[in-house]
Homo-oligomer: A and B are copies of this chain.
Amino acid sequence: MRNKSEHSSCELPEPSRKTKLNQNRQYRFQDNFRWKGVKVCEYKTGGDNWDKIARQTLIGAGNESTKFHLRYFEIAPDGYSSFEKHKHEHVVIGVRGKGKARINRRTIELNFMDVLYIKPDEPHRLFNPFNEPFGFFCIVNAKRDRPKAIKEGTKGQRHIGTK
């Protein structure tokens, strides 16, 4: 298992003093689901309950004053996000390939342009049991609580695997 702290340097970016607040911006879409001017980060720098997932923060790292952040996550085949819960909600939009979402005890498939709303405090994980990359937008409140990891095998979560 990796020895990593629980939070990503990309997750809650500090506004840069060099960047003016609220400038118009266009992030051009490029090959392979990259956006010009947007860096690809690790999903988190910590935790051992995720694998093969990368993050791009499209809105929220550029000194915008929006009450929300827009991120793009991509999960490689066999990868998965943390199984976790938090008070803030998720809005997920499938945009590349397909994947699955575990919402408490249910598992659903997420395809291109499917929109998923995950309510507060709901245990959840996104994962990719397929052979192609699974990419999705995830929109969250700008001000949000830190996720709490849920251990596999916790009471009531016994049957939740990654496939």
Contact = CB atoms under 8 A, between A and B. Distances in A.
Interface of A: 22-29, 33, 35, 58-59, 62, 64-68, 70, 89, 91, 93-95, 103, 108, 110-120, 122, 137, 139, 141-143
Contact of A22 (B65, B70, B120, B142): B120
A13 B70 CA distance: 23
A122 B24 contact: yes
Nearest to A36: B114
Given A120-B22, A139-B139, A115 B70 contact: yes
B68 A117 contact: no
Contact of A25 (B33, B116, B137, B142): B116
A93 B93 CA distance: 12
Given A66-B91, A67-B67, A68-B68, A22 B119 contact: yes
